Amino acid sequence: MNHALPILVVEDNDEDFDMLQMTFQWASIPNPLYRCAEGEEALEFLGQTGRYASTGAAPRPGLILLDLNLAGLDGRQVLEHVKNDRHLKSIPVLVFSTSDNPKDVQSAYAHGASGYLLKPVDLPRFERMIRLFKEFWLDHIVMPEDDGREVARG
């Protein structure tokens, strides 16, 4: 159902992103993955500005997987920006973090996160979580489609 929607992964850790990519391939998830390693880069991607200003360089994601702990503009600020932007707020954002701090979880949901996933520390649990993510978010949930409006620039 949602297998053509691009997924934006905002993740600064190369190993975590590599494991995510590998697990997506293992789970036969065909959605194209786009990665931003910094919060500022993610906002450029979403706003199609800066290094993503050229047409087609940054398609509107159908889903965002967001790490909270990023250098510079962190994931909390990215989430707040996305959910306060009328052109972006309909995009589901799943926080994907190692933090199990109840304050982080509460804050993420208070700022509009659609879900909060704890990064498993071992590969079998990581694979199971991605399989469940695929079954729930990509096979069963009806996602909002791009309404065709331009993303606000600047």
Structural domains present in the chain: 7-138 (3.40.50.2300)
Which mean pLDDT values do the consecutive 10-residue runs of the chain (154 residues) have?
A: 85 94 93 96 94 85 95 94 95 95 96 95 92 92 65 41
User: What pTM, to 2 d.p., does this model score?
Assistant: 0.90
Instruction: Please list, residue by residue across 43-70, b when 16 or more beta carbons sit within 10 angstroms of its beta carbon and e when fewer do.
Output: bbbbbbeeebeeeeebebbbbbbbbbeb
User: What pLDDT does 101 receive?
Assistant: 94
In angstroms, rounded to a whole number, what is the distance separating the alpha carbons of residues 47 and 110? 23
